[in-house]
């Protein structure tokens, strides 16, 4: 006979924390979907879509709620009941309400991981009498990131950043000396690539996506969705996909 506890561990879940506090129960019950995207060539991002209608009060909800103010810190855990992992840590950057004649209104909140990104406008900069590690630390501080940088030891007379975003510039500098740039949460890590190489059973994903999706048969209250699905996938270095669906 199947143990109920064993069955529960297969239930996909998502948990959100806003400014360190768990998302309210009402907001959690109105979640339609949560999508997290990580890409080595761009800043990590997320979207959170909520039902945005109160049938009893006949009014739009969540648009002005303080939980979803721009700039609020967001942490997202996904997985199964006994195996949850933090997939995203960043902040809310925008909102997109959607109104339809044949469906309840929804509100989508978007956010980014605070990291240098190719999407930031290219710029020029000069660095005099500095090591690459010092340059990386200075740029990390400009982005309010905590630098974790291995000393490169060699002082360079002059380094120019020309028509590049900070992310592109640091990535190129790291590749030239056999280092790699990794941004995780609010820490910028620059270290020799070989220090982080470990045997892996699968190709290391360069792009990962995770989505939590509730069924679409809500009645407008947002509280009819009992079942949910969790999908994770990643693109390996060779272009193949790794991942699974629950």
Report pLDDT digits (tens) over 58-87.
Answer: 999 999 999 999 999 999 999 887 788 888
Distance CA 7, CA 49 (A): 27
The whole-number pLDDT of residue 232 equals 55
The whole-number pLDDT of residue 244 equals 44
What's the mean pLDDT when you consider all of the chain? 79
E strand or H helix at 49, and its extent? Answer: strand 42-51
pLDDT above 70: residue 18 = yes
Q: Give per-residue pLDDT as tens, 207-240.
A: 667 777 876 644 444 444 333 445 555 554 433 3
Considering only 39-48, 92-101, 157-166, which range has the smallest mean pLDDT?
A: 39-48
Number of Cβ within a 10 Å radius of residue 226: 9
Q: Give per-residue pLDDT as tens, 23-50.
A: 999 999 999 999 998 776 666 889 999 9
Burial of 148 (0-12, 13-18, 19+ CB in 10 A): middle
How crowded is the C-beta side of 158, counted as CA atoms within 13 Å?
A: 3
Residue % of the chain over a pLDDT of 70: 72
Q: Give per-residue pLDDT as tens, 128-153.
A: 999 999 999 999 888 888 899 999 99
The whole-number pLDDT of residue 200 equals 45
């Amino acid at each position: 006979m199947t143990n109920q506890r064993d069955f529960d561990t297969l239930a996909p879940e998502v948990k959100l924390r806003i400014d360190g506090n768990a998302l309210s129960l009402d907001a959690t019950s109105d979640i339609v979907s949560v999508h997290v995207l990580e890409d080595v060539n761009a800043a990590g991002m997320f979207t959170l879509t909520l039902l945005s209608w109160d049938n009893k009060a006949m009014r739009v909800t969540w648009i002005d709620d303080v939980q979803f103010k721009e700039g609020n810190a967001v942490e997202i855990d996904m997985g199964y009941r006994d195996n949850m992992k933090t997939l995203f840590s960043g902040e809310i950057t925008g909102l997109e309400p959607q109104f339809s004649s044949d469906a309840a209104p929804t509100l989508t909140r978007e956010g980014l991981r605070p990291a240098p990104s190719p999407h930031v406008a290219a710029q020029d900069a000069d660095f005099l009498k500095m090591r690459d590690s010092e340059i990386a630390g200075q740029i990390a501080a400009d982005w309010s990131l905590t630098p974790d940088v291995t000393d490169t030891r060699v002082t360079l007379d002059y380094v120019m950043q020309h028509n590049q975003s900070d992310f592109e510039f640091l990535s190129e500098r790291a590749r030239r000396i056999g280092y790699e740039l990794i941004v995780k949460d609010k820490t910028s890590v620059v270290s020799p690539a070989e220090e982080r190489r470990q045997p892996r059973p699968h190709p290391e994903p360069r792009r990962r996506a995770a989505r939590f999706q509730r069924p679409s048969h809500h009645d407008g209250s947002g509280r009819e969705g009992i079942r949910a699905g969790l999908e994770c996938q990643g693109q390996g270095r060779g272009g193949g996909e790794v991942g699974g669906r629950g």
